[in-house]
Structures are given as structure tokens and as C-alpha cells.
Amino acid sequence: MALVRASKTALATVKPRKWRAPGLKMKLSSVASRPTRVAAPSFLTHQAATVSEIAARRSQRMGSLEGRSAGIVGKSAVDLLEELIEAGEIDVLVTIGPLTNAALLFLKRPDLAGRVRLVSMCGAFTINAAEYNVRCDPEAASRVFAAPCDKLLVGLDVTLKCRMSREMVEALYGLGEEYARVLSSYLRVWMERSGHLPILHDPLAVATVFAPDLVRAEPARVEVELAGRYTRGYTVVVGGEPNARVCRDVDADRFLKLFAERVLRG
């Protein structure tokens, strides 16, 4: 999950000094330089745990991690989010994984939902599939979709159009900076396992924070299928009051050009 405030700091694994839009004071810092917070100990899936029960499991997990890494601090991601939102330090959350932490935050502090804008890389709205981030924890996604905050859902319908070319990959490999070496190592593993060139799912979601016109979004009411034997985790657009904005199209060429300009130049 990335934490974004346009006038302050965003956390993302991209090159710090260039990922900026004109007129927007946004600084990006490598998450590698930040202490790591312990995430939720388990998904909400198939459980009706209370916030206190989840907190107890989280404490147990943090105890088991103690001493393993100097970068892990004794504070959960949910507690950190609560503190930052209350202090006005962030006003945008960007989720690029299962929505468990966001759901736990809104369960613990439903009053905070209206104080942030959510951008979530999740869902598939014209594709017959359960997208990974929703499929991992459908109950969490369902709770987040029901929260009274502004939501932009950046789903597979648009992210699958944003594929790196072989030339872009080779350009990244050729950079000598540390961030490029780290990203290159990730990409090599990803391509070996997937068998195809990288798809920029998460970077597109982050980019919409400061370049919202990259995508065309429409208001919709989105529900998550929780009970289907074969369709659990599907995101379904239904009738009724809209609870989110769903990305329907993307200017992929413009986004890829922006990505190349900001990330692939030494």
C-alpha cells in the first residue's frame, strides 16, 4: 500500500527525483529507506474475527519477528495508517495488493474513511476472471467498497494494456543506479515465472494519483462475489447508487511514455 499526499510525500519503488508532474509538489521516497511495518497477520477470508482478536494475532506475529530485521518496527500498518490520517499527513491511499489492511483500518476506525481518497489496483470489470488482489481476500475488498470514501478502481481492464516492451526492459537493465538494479532483479524473476514481458499494473494505479486524465473512469456500483463456487472474488457492476469510479479505458501510449521518461532514464 502506498501512502500519498500531493503536497508532502509518497512512498513508491520508483526513482525519487523525477517521478513528478508539472505544478505538483510530490516527493517520492524509496520504501527501502523506510522502516517496515508489520502487515495484517491473515486475510479476512472465512473468518469473523474481531478487531481485538486480529490485534492479538498481530502482536504475536510481531513478537516472532523481533530481532530478525532492524528495519521492522513494533507498529502495525493499520496503526500507522490511523496515525497518519488523523494527523493529516496523508489524504490518498494507493493499494497495490489485497485490501486487508484498508479493510481493517475502516473496521477499526470507520470515521476515517471520509478523510481519505482510495486508489486501488484491483478488480476486473469486463474480463471473466477474479483479479488476484480481490481473490486473495474478497471479504476485505467488499468491506472497502462499502466504505464511504472516494474510490478509483484501476482494474485489469486497463492495466493489461500497459505492457513494457523488450526495449524498455533492456533500457532498465542498462541503467547503473541502485533502484534500477533492484527493479531489474524483480523483473527477471517475474518474467521467468510468468513467461511474458512485465505488465505495469501497480505503476498505473500510482500514476493516476497525479495524472488522473490517463484513464477514463465512470461511476458504478461494484459488489464482490463472496459465495460463488466458481466466481468467488469476481467484481460485479450492479445497479444502484455508485460506490466507486471504475476505470474503463487508459491512454496506454501516454502512460508508457511517462513511465519511460521518469523511470528508465539514468
26 pLDDT higher than 80: no
As a whole number of angstroms, the distance between CA 245 and CA 150 comes to 8
Q: Which amino acid is at 13?
A: T
Supply the pLDDT for residue 5.
43
Cell reading at 29: 521516497
37 pLDDT higher than 70: no
What is the band of 45 on the pLDDT scale with cuts at 50, 70, 90? low
- How many CB atoms within 10 Å of residue 259? 19
Stretch 175-197: mean pLDDT:
93
7 pLDDT higher than 80: no
- CB-CB contact of 250 with 212 (8 Å): no
Stretch 143-149: mean pLDDT:
97
What is the band of 8 on the pLDDT scale with cuts at 50, 70, 90? very low
What is the band of 176 on the pLDDT scale with cuts at 50, 70, 90? confident
Burial 70-86 (b: 16+ CB within 10 A, else e): eeeeeebbbbbbbebbe
Q: Which residue has the higher pLDDT, 70 or 89?
A: 89
Supply the pLDDT for residue 16.
33
Mind listing the pLDDT tens digit for each residue in 80-113? Answer: 999 999 999 999 999 999 999 999 999 999 999 9
Mind listing the pLDDT tens digit for each residue in 204-253? Answer: 999 999 999 999 999 999 999 999 899 999 999 999 999 999 999 999 99
Burial 126-145 (b: 16+ CB within 10 A, else e): eeeebbebbbbbbbbbbbbb
Domains of the chain: 2-32+90-163+199-263 (3.90.245.10)
From 265, 258, 168, 243, select the one nearest 212 (Cα to Cα): 258
Residue owning grid cell 490520517: 85
Percent of the chain topping pLDDT 70: 72
What are the phi and psi torsion angles at 28 (to 5°)? Answer: -115, 135
Supply the pLDDT for residue 75.
78
Supply the pLDDT for residue 49.
46
DSSP E strand boundaries for 113-234: 117-121, 150-154, 215-224
Cell reading at 184: 531489474
Q: Looking at 15, 143, 201, 245, which residue is catalytic?
A: 201
- CB-CB contact of 262 with 238 (8 Å): no
DSSP state of 35: P
Cell reading at 214: 490517463
Can 201 be counted among the known catalytic residues? Answer: yes
